[in-house]
Amino acid sequence: MKNSKHWIISALVIGTFFSMILMGNTTLSKTTGSIEGEVITLRVAQSKSANHPVSQGIDKFAELVKEKSNGKIMIDTFHDGLIGDDREVIESAQRGSIEIASSSTPNMAGFTKYFTAWDLPYIFENKDEVYIALDGEPGDIIRQEMKKSGFIVIFFPDYGFRQIVNNIKPIEKPEDLKGMKIRTTNSKIEQADFNSYGANPTPMAWSEVFTGLQQGTVDGEGNSYSLLWDTKHQEVLKYATEVNYNYSSDVVVMNKAKFEALSAENQALILEAGEEAMQWQRVRANEREDEARQQFKDYGIEIFEPTPEELQVWKQAVEPVWDQFVREGQAEPNYVDLILETLGKTREDIFN
């Protein structure tokens, strides 16, 4: 009787074990899309607030994928850093813990140095130049490079140009920043920008900046109007200087193995949805930036708009940053030249 009881228990344990394996494999198959006909669920995560244009572009992408697949591919979106900050979600996507992630490009330089060139001050002087580069050979090179790190680039959401904002005094020329503590990202180029302006660059996690401005740990920062407004930074700011010293894009990437596990039809569908979402998001990003700029004015933030001659002074102040970073292993010279050639301009055109 005892032997019979033990045999039954053993059979139940073994049966449960194999059932769990089968359930796990089914769940994985649904996620990677290797079983066609099933509903495939993919997850995308990023750190910006749900109402930011980058987030809205990702929501549009999810909507388009659902529509194009007739509901057979569903994308769950996680905004507001619910799964982690930029670096954390990108690393999760690289491991395959999640399928898709988005990050600002300065945080992607660890995967390919080509992103470093995008950080150079004034390499992009307006949005048209940004789009020409991303849609052309410079963008294609990034797409190929990211594959080496295990990613497929889905699309590049438009983040925007960074302006200089502070709560101390009006800033009209670079020397006005002398001695001021300005929060920067971890980008070495952005830090060098503010060194060239005479400020004290202070790298700080984004989550700490609002409190840092309140407490005087930093006097100002550089960022786009839309991100600043959506995170209520206008409450701790008084002045803005509109000099477009740096453009930042985001990049939405998918784990390469997960992407390749999909059928060719579904791969094409996802890339097509990404392209359409990008075109839609560019319009929305520019609309939102104009709205946020007006909101800043209406709130009482004093905005300095330099003349073309005054802006040239700002440009010339950071030209030495190019000498420092345009070199092999950093902002690759050949890639910088390719961007300039694609845009039909030279370094001299920017700074002279």
CATH topology of domain 38-159+249-288: D-Maltodextrin-Binding Protein; domain 2 (3.40.190)
pLDDT of residue 282: 98
Question: Do 38-159+249-288 and 161-248+295-351 come out as alike in CATH topology?
Answer: yes
**Pick from 321, 63, 9, 292: nearest CA to 192:** 321
Quote the pTM value: 0.86
Q: How many whole angstroms separate alpha carbon 237 and alpha carbon 164?
A: 11
pLDDT digits (tens, 9 = 90+) for 317-341: 999 999 999 999 999 999 999 999 9
* CATH number for the segment(s) 161-248+295-351: 3.40.190.170
Q: How many whole angstroms separate alpha carbon 38 and alpha carbon 261?
A: 14
pLDDT digits (tens, 9 = 90+) for 151-162: 999 999 999 999
pLDDT digits (tens, 9 = 90+) for 21-54: 333 333 333 444 334 458 999 999 999 989 999 9
Task: Give 74's Cβ-side CA count (13 Å radius).
Answer: 8
Whether 6 has a pLDDT exceeding 50, the answer reads no
Residue type, 267: Q
Q: Which two tokens stand for residue 77?
A: 């979106």
Q: Are 108 and 75 in contact (CB under 8 A)?
A: no
* Domain locations along the chain: 38-159+249-288, 161-248+295-351
